[in-house]
Structure formats: C-alpha cells, structure tokens
Amino acid sequence: MTTDPWVGTWRPQKPLRPIGAQYTGPGPKYGLPSATGIIKHDPTKNKAPAYSFGIQHVRYNTDSSPGPKYFVSSKMTRMGKDAFPAFTMCFRSKEPKKAKTPGPATYFPEKAIKCSYNTPPAYTMGSKTEHFEMDSVPGSQALHLTAMKMDLNAVIETVEAGYQDAAMMALQAFNKERLGKLVIRFLERDLQPSCQLACLETIRILSRDKNCLEPFATPQAIQTLGRHAGIKHSEGVTSEIPDLEVIVEALKCLCNIVFNSPSAQEVGAELRLIVGLTERLKLYNDRHWSHEVRFFDLRLTFLFTALRVDVRGQLAHELRGISLLSDALESTLGLRWLDTFEVARADKGDDGLPLPRQETERTMEILKILFNITFDTSRRDVDEEEAALYRHLCAILRFCLMSKADGEERTEEFHSHTVNLLGNLPLMCLDVLLTPKVQQGSIEYMGVNMDAVSMLLDFMDRRLNREHKLKETLTPSLNLLTESARVHRETRKFLRMKILPPLRDVKNRPEVGNSLRNKLVRLMTHIDTDVKHCAAELLFVLCKESVPCSVIRNEAIDSRTCQIKFSRLKELLCWVAAGLLAARGLMCGGRGKGRYSEDEDTDTEEYREAKPNINPITGRVEEKLPNPMEGMTEEQKENEAMKLVNMFDKMSRDQVIQPMAVGPDGKLANLESAVQRLSEQRSSSGSDSDDD
C-alpha cells in the first residue's frame, strides 16, 4: 500500500490542441510574419537581395525570310555581282561644277612665319638691355625661303603626280642640291651653340646617304665642319670652341662624310686635318675633353689612316704618331711602370678587374690607328731609337693581352686588335713578351715567364673552334706565333710542348681529335691557301725548318727518316710538306733562317715500337695490305708496269701532270728547262776546255 495521498480517479491527459493558458504571450490567434521571401517579410529580420521571376515574355515573331524556293543567280558572289561592265540606258549625268577652293599656289606659306613655322627668338623695339649687347640671335627674316620657292613648287608638283620614281629622284635632288648647301652656308655664320647643334644634326643625318654627299665634300664644307670640330689647321693657335656638344656633332659629321666620300678624304688630306687632330691628341690628358670628343677624334684619325696612305705616312713619321699614340694608350689604361718593360694598373685595387667600357673603346681605336701606321714596320729594318720605341709599345701591348674587358665578346675583340698590332712589330722586339719576372701563379718554362705566349695560344685555340672567317681571324695569331717561335728558342720549345707533345697514340689518324695538333692538321687541307700555308709554316718552324739532303735525293719526304720528324708530328701530310719545302726553296736540303739548337731525340717508347709499321701517308699504324703483285709472273708484272708508264705518259701529254726537277735555288722547275740549262752548262764547260 502506497503512502501517496489520495487524489481521486482523475489523471492528467495530453491536450488535443494548444491551450492558451500554457503560453506567456498572446495566443496562437496572432500569427508572426514570415522571414522568407519578399512578400510580408518580418521587418525585424534582415532581408537578403532577391530577384523576382517576372512574367513570361511575349514570343518573338517567327523568321519570315524566303525559303529555298527562291533561286539566287550564280553570278552573285559575296563581293557583289560578277559580270562584265555594263551601262544603263539612263540619261547622261550632269558634269560636276568646278571647285572654287584655292589651289596650291594661292597661299604663300613663307609669309606666315609666325603662324606656320617655328621662329627663333625675337625682340621688340624697346630699349636695349645691358646683358645682351653681343647677342647675335637672328630675327624673323633671317632665313629667306624665297630662293627655294620655284624649286619647291616643282618638287610638290612631281610628288602630287603620284609617280614614285620621279618623286624619289626629285626629293633626292632637292635635298642634295639645296638643303645641304643652305645648311652649310648658314653654318658659316656666327650662331648660337643650340642653332649650330641643330644644323650639324641635319648634316649628320643627310651624310648617311651616299647620294647626298656632294655639298658636304667641298673644301668649303670640310673647312667649316673642321672649324666647328676644333681641328681646323692654321699656322697660328687653333681657336677653341667651348661647347663640347658642337664639337662631338661636327666630328660625327666628318666621320660619316670621310667614310663615304673619296673626294672628302682627298680634301681632308689637303686641308691637313690630321695635324689638328694630332695637336688635340697632345692634350689627351686634359680632363676638359669628354669621352665622346676623344673617342671621335680617334675614330676620325683611324678613318684617315685607313683610307689615305699619305696621311698614314705623315702621321707615322712627320707627326711622330707612334710615340704620341703610345702615350695616349698608356694614359687611357692608367698604367704605372714596375720595370723597364713591365707595367701594371696605377691603382693596385684595380688589378684583376675588367677595364671600364669607355676606356676599352678608346683603347681599341688607338690600337687600330697604330696598326695602320705600323703596317710595313716588320718588313723593314729599324734603328735603335725606333727599336726602343717599339719595345716600349710592346710592353703596353703585353698588358692589353693579359687584361680583360667588360664581357667575353668585348674581351675577344680587344685581344684581336692587340694580336693584330703585335704582328706588325719588329721580330727583335717581341722578346719583351718574355721579359717580366716569374711570379706566383705565372706559367714558367725554362726559367721564362710564358703567360703572354700561353694567352696567345689560348686565343688561337678559341679562333680555331669558331671555324668561321679563318683567314681574317686566325692567320694573325698563326703568323705571330710562327715568327715569335722562329726568333726565340724558349717560345718555340714551349709551343712545341703544347702543340706537338711526344707521340703516344699511333692508331688514330692525325686529323681526328680535338687537340691543337689535330686542329692544325685539319687546317692543312683547308680550301683557303693562305690558312693552309700558315698552319703548315707554324708546324715547320716548330720542327726547326730542318731538311736533310739524304731525304730530298729520294724525291719524296719520308716521314720515318726525315729530321723534321714528320713521323713524330704525324699530321704533316707528304704532299703538303713537299709543297711547303718547294715554295721555300728547301728541296735541296738545309734549314731556314731561324735560331735553332741541335736536334734532340723526343721519340717515345710507343713510337719507337710502332715506327716500322706507320703509314707515311696517313700517319698511323695500319694493317698490312696484301701484295697486289703476289702470284704474278714476271711477264705480268712487266705488263702492269707498262700500263702505269702509259698512264703517266698520257697525263703528261694532256698536261694533267708535268715533270719537274729541283733547280739550283732549291725550288721545283720545269724538267725541260732544267735539262736545257744543264746541257748549256756542259757545252760552255766543253768550249772552255777546248780553248785551254
């Protein structure tokens, strides 16, 4: 029995619908507004943007274009109707009335200077100011265009005609005959620097066309430009022009005109502009002159020396150009002398750094000028004073060879000009390349500093890898190394060690490989004769130019017995070697004019073992071929020999080959002339004996 109180039989039930008494707010009869949609939205709630679906649009009209039943004519294309020209039967159209607009000759543009043209500064009629008493600014009527009126009208009429060739010729004639003369004539006045600069810029642009150079190639024009460039030669002191921009622009004009006009070159030589350039070159260290002035001074000097032989000799001898340019080269590079023939950068902190761009440009111009004026130096004897001057220059060139410019291409060009100039110097002065003392990091050979020679060798190797324009790019370095090896024993031995090391590989052909020896062998079969001979000459000098008479008597260059050691070189092909000896007059044996020591044996053990099996034609060990005469009878051998003789006879009659003999001078001569000369000598000797 429970202890809960008695409550009767009633128990709570779940209501069937909401009872208002159970809610604290108003009853369910008050409905809350909806928070969705846009119609009757609860204003106390945020409402996001919404778009209505709108009403259905009215249906567009259906396409009412004609169907395929309409036929389109085959003459109708997308470009229009394709048919022959046809005319309608309509009445004739009326002629258009003549235009009443003014023609091209009605207006006078030269009278409307202020409205149509840029006018120079002008002044009113007021009182004169105190600060511009010497002002020479031209007025509004200074330039008279009336003189060009008739010619200008003719040009306009030609251009309006529409013919291109006639218009081009008319414009060129007008520019050449009028504009150039007017600008030169106007430039002779006393003008402000800004006006001078504008005139010179016009001349520079016109001088680029070779057909417009006639007004600028006259003595008057060259003299005017030389005056503005500050290089006009006169007996007195040359007047200085303070504005450097005018000088640079005038020099640019002269460079264009001299380069493109032979008559301007002759006029410049007669006016002795080279003397004015030389006088300013003496002031090369003056900081007043900018880089552009000095650069274009050197460029104009280079053009005169390259195009005029008389100017070249005048600068070299009369004006002492070699000494002057050597000093300018030393000043440009900023050098200090460590010893008699050893130089370095003036600032020790700059050692190892590339040369600045502007200094490199001026240095290359100086090197090109020196190359022009020393072109024939190596072909003549020099006295002691000249030799000392060239040794001084050679020391500076050694520094150029060991220096670098900004960028690989610029360095290659810089070294190229240096090598070209070194090839012009006397051979006796090239020992300066070996003069510097051996220092840490230097290449030493036989107690001599070989840095310069090694640099030349690397330069030649880079040019060999290019295989493009070898005659222009490679032959200077080949000739320089050849002549240096001929007169300096240490250089020859070092080059032989680098180019012709002791032979160990006797199985590959000499032209196969990437070593210097292989590359030079490939040059010996080059299509260019000069390149081929230069390569053969270098190898010949490295072998001391020695040819024993015992070898020549066999009428063949035997690479296995020749003291030149063609077998050791391996790459010297027999026919190339024979041609080289014949050209040098060494077919009778002997040796060249170089300074050489006694022969030394440098054959390796590998070469001695393979020496009997080396093919003298291919320069390598080859398998022995079977004897083609083996198994033949004596009669068959004799028939084969007669066939060979008949073939030689046929080629000789057809002048394919020609029998030759070695003359007294060591060169090959025609066999018939040699026999005739020998018979004459015998007959003369016989007549002398009969007289006795």
Per-residue HEC secondary structure of 469-528 comes to: CHHHHCHHHHHHHHHHHHHCHHHHHHHHHHHCCCCCCCCCCCCCCCCHHHHHHHHCCCCC
pLDDT of residue 179: 76
pLDDT of residue 304: 94
Higher-pLDDT residue of 589, 231: 231
| Residue 47 exposure: Cα atoms within 13 Å on the Cβ side | 15
> Among residues 531, 558, 431, which one has the least CA distance to residue 473?
531
Among 87-96, 200-209, 272-281, 459-468, the range scoring the smallest mean pLDDT is 87-96
Among 58-62, 359-363, 574-578, 627-631, the range scoring the smallest mean pLDDT is 574-578
Q: Summarize pLDDT for 386-401 with one digit per residue, the tens.
A: 889 999 999 999 999 9
Tell whether the model's pLDDT for residue 578 goes beyond 80.
Answer: no
Q: Summarize pLDDT for 489-502 with one digit per residue, the tens.
A: 899 999 988 988 87
Q: Summarize pLDDT for 612-629 with one digit per residue, the tens.
A: 777 766 667 777 778 888
Kindly report the average pLDDT of the chain as a whole number. Answer: 77
Tell whether the model's pLDDT for residue 553 goes beyond 50.
Answer: no
Type of residue found at 20: G
The mean pLDDT value for 543-566 works out to 42
**What pLDDT band is residue 202 in, cutting at 50, 70 and 90?**
confident
pTM higher than 0.75 for the full model?
Answer: no
pLDDT of residue 686: 61
- Are the beta carbons of 665 and 584 closer than 8 angstroms? no
- Are the beta carbons of 522 and 573 closer than 8 angstroms? no
- Indicate the helix (H) or strand (E) that contains 194: helix 193-206
CA distance 50 to 604: 100
Higher-pLDDT residue of 658, 664: 658
Quote the percentage of the chain above a pLDDT of 70: 65
pLDDT of residue 90: 64
- Are the beta carbons of 207 and 213 closer than 8 angstroms? yes
Type of residue found at 128: K
Tell whether the model's pLDDT for residue 355 goes beyond 80.
Answer: yes
pLDDT of residue 562: 35
Q: Which DSSP string do the residues of 233-266 spell out, in sequence order?
A: --SSPPPP---HHHHHHHHHHHHHHHHH-HHHHH
Q: Which residue spans within 488-646 are E strands per DSSP?
A: 546-547, 590-591
The backbone region for 471, taken as left when phi is positive above 0, alpha when psi lies in -120 to 50, beta otherwise, is alpha
Cα-based angle 492, 447, 437 (whole degrees, multiple of 5): 110
pLDDT of residue 691: 55
Tell whether the model's pLDDT for residue 324 goes beyond 90.
Answer: yes
pLDDT of residue 419: 94
Q: Can you read off the two tokens belonging to residue 248?
A: 């640079």
SS3 337: strand
Among 59-63, 293-297, 567-571, 667-671, the range scoring the smallest mean pLDDT is 567-571
